[in-house]
Chains A and B, each alone.
Chain A
Amino acid sequence: MPLLELDRVSVSYGPVQAVREVNLHVERGEVVTLIGANGAGKSTILRTISGLARIGGGALNFDGKDISRQRPDAILRLGLAHCPEGRQVLARQSVEDNLLLGAYVRKDLDGIDRDLESSYQMFPRLRERRLQPAGTLSGGEQQMLAIARALMSAPRMLLLDEPSLGLAPLVVEEIFSIIDALNARGMTILLVEQNARLALKHSHRGYVLESGQIAATGQARELLDDSRVLEAYLGA
């Protein structure tokens, strides 16, 4: 049984159907990438999984449980964390308070301390700035904080929406090596990326979304070799 499974999921904003009958699954331990043009519905799919957007039809299961009617906070408690598009850090709170709020659902103080320390090891720049308001960080630093904060809940699965957006190439490399490291430790990841080629290189499988529908799916390597996908999304 897959860890996450979407069965003919549809989502509408008023009269506009943004996602149409999408079938998608992620197995335990997999990294899966969702690619598609702007407005294809990638963020909508992630927002539906994490409970931010209301599902219009179909079934949505995480770890065998129906989560289609659950609130976002309840879904996080099941171990599914969502790092949303556009660095949604809490600008007025300190870097460290952002990280600690990431662990809001946890009670194991020792574990929280340990994970705070490993966040700082992962992103040393956050340690240097730990007492400053998160709103004063650079864009790249805010993105690191958003990822580190999502990890502070000790999730079993991570939804990452465009983690490399607006980052310098070196930092993008860094983010992808962190994705690899997390996956090597067993983390299941569903990734949305504009940088499709790089994302597919770091993934097991991929889905191509076109106007709210799945247009292609397969092993990451197959998609990288597929001439249609290549033309449309990989800029080749």
Chain B
Amino acid sequence: MNIALFLQNILNGLSIGAVYSIFALGYTLVFSILGIINFAHGAVFTLGAYCTYALAVGDFGLNGLLAGLSMPFRLPFPLALLGGSLIAGITGVLVERLAFRPLRAKGADALLALVSSLGVALIIVNLLQMLVGAEIYSFPSDIFGSLPMAMIVKVGGKVLAVRTVQIIILAVSMVLLVLLAWFMNRTRMGKALQATAENPETASLLGINVDRYIVSTFFISGVLGGLAGTLIGASFGLAGPYFGVSYGLKGLAVIVLGGLGSIPGAVLGGVVIGLGEAFLPPDYSSLKEAVAFIMLFFILLARPQGLLGRQTIQKV
């Protein structure tokens, strides 16, 4: 393998892996506080991507109830990304209200929330399909304003394509990771959130309003999901309202591979799977969607708790 191709694979792997990490962190945060997987996370991812598209591009395509309509305004991409992610965050809060809180209030088995979150996911996806149809949406080439779509760099006589969206992804994920680490480990709210994750009952005796932290967690999780959806959408287009489903499954592979409930695990798992996909030889490219699960299989054989998981999964 020549050096340019190697660097190209590293760049592609790191940037797609960073998006997987951001997306998987959304699962992890909810899992670490409630001990269950939020199956609506993939739908929130999709919704965030469509909202950013609507805010930045302004049209709703040719099918669905909104066909032919257009937004009265258009936002520059960074603002649209922020807007789409915030809407996804609010949707995360709604998911908690609809699918999780009623069951929790009744003291129902946590597993039931798997089913109710799947139900909310279907509602979101079907509503999207009803509104904007099932066609493919792509961000136009001038989406980053005057920035080009890609830069060509020459390495040892060979070319390396650095896409603008990849630089944006890497920058956004760096900032996010630093923010998240600072928030979790250095702030009073972050410590209270960790306490709630470790033992909600003890947290409540310390004066922590557990319900409020659960809602905040769903909000942060939704923002991360919407952000990831938008970044994937900006990289590869929005392939219909169901395009979050395969990422939803891949995200599950990421968190299990990294170690359930572990924040560094979600980050590492995303990068490992991203790199694995990028280094897949072109002859095997039809296996790309399976790479995550093949890697998961072999890593779990060696380390059943995942790369950075604790020896046993504790939920107090």
The answer to the question of B195 belonging to the interface, with a C-beta cut-off of 8 Å to chain A, is yes
The answer to the question of A76 belonging to the interface, with a C-beta cut-off of 8 Å to chain B, is yes
Q: In the complex, what distance in Å separates the CA atom of A89 from the CA atom of B206?
A: 11
B→A interface (CB under 8 Å):
188, 191-192, 194-195, 198-199, 201-202, 204-210
Q: Report A-chain residues with C-beta under 8 Å of the C-beta of B205.
A: 50, 52, 72, 76, 81-82, 84, 88, 150
Q: In the complex, what distance in Å separates the CA atom of A77 from the CA atom of B206?
A: 9
Q: In the complex, what distance in Å separates the CA atom of A100 from the CA atom of B191?
A: 10
Offer 16 A-B interface pairs, CB within 8 angstroms, sorted by A: A52-B201, A52-B204, A52-B205, A71-B209, A73-B204, A73-B210, A76-B205, A76-B206, A84-B201, A88-B201, A90-B194, A93-B194, A93-B198, A104-B188, A104-B208, A153-B207
Q: Report B-chain residues with C-beta under 8 Å of the C-beta of A77.
A: 207
B209: nearest chain-A partner, CB-CB: A73
Given contacts A100-B191, A101-B191, contact A90 B202 (CB under 8 A): yes
CB distance from A77 to the nearest CB of B (A): 6
The B interface is mostly helix, strand or loop, or mixed, namely helix
Q: How many residues of A contact B (CB 8 A)?
A: 26
Q: Report B-chain residues with C-beta under 8 Å of the C-beta of A89.
A: 202
Q: Report B-chain residues with C-beta under 8 Å of the C-beta of A50.
A: 205
Q: Report A-chain residues with C-beta under 8 Å of the C-beta of B191.
A: 93, 97, 100-101
Q: Are A101 and B198 in contact (CB under 8 A)?
A: no
A106: nearest chain-B partner, CB-CB: B207
Q: Report B-chain residues with C-beta under 8 Å of the C-beta of A72.
A: 204-205
Residues of chain A in range 132-174 having any CB-CB distance to chain B below 8 Å = 149-150, 153
Q: Are A93 and B204 in contact (CB under 8 A)?
A: no
CB distance from B143 to the nearest CB of A (A): 43
The answer to the question of A40 belonging to the interface, with a C-beta cut-off of 8 Å to chain B, is no
Q: In the complex, what distance in Å separates the CA atom of A105 from the CA atom of B207?
A: 6
CB distance from A51 to the nearest CB of B (A): 8
The answer to the question of A18 belonging to the interface, with a C-beta cut-off of 8 Å to chain B, is no
Q: Report A-chain residues with C-beta under 8 Å of the C-beta of B201.
A: 52, 84, 88
Q: Report A-chain residues with C-beta under 8 Å of the C-beta of B208.
A: 73, 101, 104
The answer to the question of A92 belonging to the interface, with a C-beta cut-off of 8 Å to chain B, is yes
CB distance from B24 to the nearest CB of A (A): 21
CB distance from A50 to the nearest CB of B (A): 6
Most chain A CB atoms below 10 A, which of B207, B208, B209: B207
Q: Are A101 and B204 in contact (CB under 8 A)?
A: no
CB distance from B32 to the nearest CB of A (A): 11
Residues of chain A in range 73-118 having any CB-CB distance to chain B below 8 Å = 73, 76-77, 81-82, 84, 88-93, 97, 100-102, 104-105
**Contact among B206, B209, B210 for A101, CB-based, below 8 A:** B206
Q: Are A102 and B206 in contact (CB under 8 A)?
A: yes
Q: In the complex, what distance in Å separates the CA atom of A101 from the CA atom of B77?
A: 40
Q: Report B-chain residues with C-beta under 8 Å of the C-beta of A90.
A: 194-195, 198-199, 202
Given contacts A73-B209, A93-B191, A93-B195, contact A88 B202 (CB under 8 A): yes
CB distance from B189 to the nearest CB of A (A): 10
Q: In the complex, what distance in Å separates the CA atom of A166 from the CA atom of B73?
A: 68
Q: In the complex, what distance in Å separates the CA atom of A105 from the CA atom of B205?
A: 11
Q: Report B-chain residues with C-beta under 8 Å of the C-beta of A88.
A: 199, 201-202, 205
Q: In the complex, what distance in Å separates the CA atom of A102 from the CA atom of B205?
A: 9
**Contact among B192, B194, B198, B199 for A104, CB-based, below 8 A:** B192
Q: Are A76 and B198 in contact (CB under 8 A)?
A: no
CB distance from B203 to the nearest CB of A (A): 8
Contact with B along A47-61 (1 / 0, CB 8 A): 000111000000000
17 further contact pairs, Cβ within 8 A, besides A91-B198, A93-B191, A101-B208: A50-B205, A52-B205, A71-B209, A73-B204, A73-B210, A76-B207, A77-B207, A82-B205, A88-B199, A88-B201, A88-B202, A90-B195, A90-B202, A92-B198, A93-B194, A93-B195, A101-B206
Q: Report A-chain residues with C-beta under 8 Å of the C-beta of B210.
A: 73
A77: nearest chain-B partner, CB-CB: B207
Q: Are B199 and A101 in contact (CB under 8 A)?
A: no
CB distance from B303 to the nearest CB of A (A): 20
